[in-house]
Chain A
Amino acid sequence: MLEIEGLTRRFGSVKAVDGVSLTVPAGQMVGVIGRSGAGKSTLLRLINRLAEPSEGRIRFDGRDVTALSGRALRDWRTECAMIFQQFNLVQRLDVLTNVLIGRLNHRHGVLARLGSLFCQFSPAERAMALAALERFDLLSTALQRADTLSGGQQQRVAICRALMQEPRLILADEPIASLDPRNARTVMDALAEVNRRDGLTVMVNLHHLDTAREYCTRVIAMQQGRVVFDGAPAELNAARITQIYGITEAEFQAEAAAAVNATPAHGFGPQVALA
């Protein structure tokens, strides 16, 4: 069970996340929605501790996550796998190695870690990675470089990498925002399957309300860093959206989609590379 108490993150004078308190029982599939800048991404990054909280506490099964550092922090990150909007795969490594990266923090001892530096993984780990790839229909791509895959395939590779971590929790930050509708569906199906079959808790940031309604058992709406709605997806109807955000659902959708696509996904031109 994930318990968040009064979690706050300030950037200068702005509160990106402002006194959020939540309890997420194991096995839930939670959708987090909100307009751009509402603090959805920051919330997930705070849980994974990729961002440091300014105030508040995160507890997982009674353990204080906010107090972890070093080895214990890395173990926690392994436990709550992160899925990114831009997949964050290593483009020049092959798919199999990308998936095996999820295993790195499970390798204990000096020899194993030395082996990691030289990309030496055991047959058991390799078989495990292949099984994960086969589960999401990616086995044929195992030996290809990650950058030869389509966006939807890359995101599923990222899910395989996450599963190799043997996590208890999956945090997905706009996992389908950079994908076309068909690929978005396969990725959401994969996340739902992981939630259902492996019993993992999934927290997923979404900008598409219909997706949240279809896949999630619980929806959290955020506005200016605060949680303004927390309940069953069915309760978050069009009237409620207008009441919370002061705009219609269609406007909300259009605005969120525009904001997500406006983030510089591949914003590095050749000029920058030469600088």
Chain B
Amino acid sequence: MSALRMAPAEIAAWQARVPRAFGPSSRGRALRVLGGVAFLAWLIGTLWWFDVSPRRMWNGLEGLLVITRLMIPPSPGEQWVEILQGLAESLAMAFLGTFIAALIAVPLGFLGANNVVTNTLFRFSLRRVFDGFRGVDQLIWALAYVRAVGLGPLAGVLAIATADIAVLAKLYAEAIENAEKKQAEGIAAAGGSPTLIMRFGILPQVAPIMLGHALYFFESNTRSATILGVVGAGGIGLQIAERIRVRHWDEVAFIIILMVLMVAAIDWLSGKLRRRLIGAR
């Protein structure tokens, strides 16, 4: 194409012919500028509101440095058996909470999928209920359950389960909606009832995805379960909070190191499991 070098007149002709190829329309450009200005105003507004200044950041950094210095060397203190117990409790809470959530989310996921439940009003309301539950954070649930069932890991387990049911159900419903119809049709053609279509036509397709999601949530709950203890919902969190209160930073560092190790181990293990599950579908 030797005509690549175009005369300015020719370029202008193209510009007149397909103006949109040369940039947004004047209205689009104005909207973009407006959006940019609004975003900048919001950014600067929040910075001003929270009094974020370089001086405060610098002072905070210094404080952080002091704490880091107090953390070295990490020390298990005298109650390292309690620490291990707390970690085990956090892990158990994450496991139990995720398991309960995943179990309840399976039927809810089927009810929320548009290729299973054709009643739009019912499905729509159910999905909005999921959304409502998702809007409340785990920690809020934990605070509520501590009042309801008392201090301890049970409150934590219930908090994890309640917060995750809705999210998992939504993910499961989406997985079911993405399942191939042809396979389900094969079961229907063989005379299968709706329940059997779900069991043999859809479940084998989505089971690895569901398990994968559940494992992923187990990973992330192992992390979040460590904090639930701060509000008295069991696990290692309470011990961290206590040690911070009395400024035993070296022991806090020790716990944090153990936590990181535990989370890394769970990550590694569940990552391996997930790959195997998906691969062997």
Contact = CB atoms under 8 A, between A and B. Distances in A.
A275 B21 contact: no
Contacts of A143: 20-21
A130 B14 CA distance: 8
A126 B14 contact: yes
Interface size class of B (residues with CB under 8 A): 20 to 34
A212 interface: no
A168 to B, nearest CB: 12
Contacts of B11: 123-124, 127
A96 B18 CA distance: 11
Given A127-B6, A271-B208, A271-B209, A142 B18 contact: yes
A253 to B, nearest CB: 30
A67 to B, nearest CB: 29
Contacts of A129: 21
Contacts, number: 54
B1 interface: yes
Interface string A244-275: 00000000000000000000000000111011
Contacts of A274: 175, 209, 212-213, 278
Interface string A114-141: 0000000001101111111000000100
Contacts of B2: 198
A75 interface: no
B21 A126 contact: yes
A57 to B, nearest CB: 30
A127 B15 contact: yes
B178 A131 contact: no
A176 interface: no
Given A132-B1, A271-B209, A274-B209, A127 B14 contact: yes
B22 A126 contact: yes
Nearest to B178: A270
Interface of A: 96, 123-124, 126-132, 139, 142-143, 163, 166, 198, 270-272, 274-275
Which 4 pairs, one residue from A and one from B, show the smallest C-beta to C-beta distance? A127-B14, A127-B11, A270-B178, A275-B278
